[in-house]
Amino acid sequence: MIPGARLIILGRQGAGKGTQCVRLSRHLVVPHISTGDMLRAATREGTELGLMAKEIMDAGGLVGDDIMIGLVDERLGRPDATTRGYILDGFPRTVAQADALDGITSERPIHVVIDLDVPREIVLERISARRVCRDCGTNYTASGQESQTWICDVCGGDVQQRDDDTPDAVNRRLDLYESQTSPLIEHYAAQGRLMVVNGVGRPDHVFKRLTDVVESRR
């Protein structure tokens, strides 16, 4: 285990990133900071930011860089992140966000950036089967037999398809990933901080690959 590990996990939507990040955060005992979860929490709370973000998220767009950079700057400055470290999931998503993050983390640099690599055709299949608990955010995979809504095993909340998992929104998000986010792979490779992990296969196998990479960077 790296004491004070600071990691970024990049990867296409639906690459299993969220679930792997939750598991990795327990394994390393560091907070999982997901900008998508932060925005969805703001939406549930009905804050101004949440309402604005919901419209953008449902259309598969990206929330403005300044807003996202402000949110992440504040979150990374909290004591759990400054002392323990963190797993950053969903940020940065643009070169402007990555440049700002380099500044935010100049005193405590990121140790490793992992690209969890899953091809577009596979993530399209996975996202159409993705179901999420509205209350606690636990992810499920529909096998096709289930009725539209079911009850979460963890908290008893309603498990549904995300509003932004419609085919149009998913395709828009994947296009934005190729145009806006994939250049970050070059950005971090040039800094010598990028490791690519194959995200295809059984979740336990993918998790082992992730922990092996993290351990190799101790």
39 binds ligand ADP (CB under 6 A): yes
Active site residue 202: no
Structure token digits, residue 115: 């690209």
Q: Which stretch binds ligand ADP (CB under 6 A): 31-39, 80-88, 106-114, 203-211?
A: 31-39
Query: At residue 24, what is the residue type?
Result: L
Instruction: Give the total of residues touching ligand ADP (CB under 6 A).
Output: 16
6, 25, 36, 133: residue in contact with ligand ADP (rule CB under 6 A):
36
**Closest residue by Cα to residue 93 from 46, 135, 57:** 57
Cis peptide leading into 109, omega within 30 of 0? no
**Closest residue by Cα to residue 165 from 198, 123, 197, 203:** 123
User: Which residues in 41-100 contact ligand ADP (CB under 6 A)?
Assistant: 56-57, 61-63, 68, 90-91, 93, 97
Name the residue whose CB lies closest to ligand ADP. 36
Active site residue 84: no
Question: Which residues in this chain contact ligand ADP in the complex, by CB under 6 A?
Answer: 13, 35-36, 39, 56-57, 61-63, 68, 90-91, 93, 97, 164, 173
Q: Return the active site residues.
A: 17, 93, 130, 162, 173
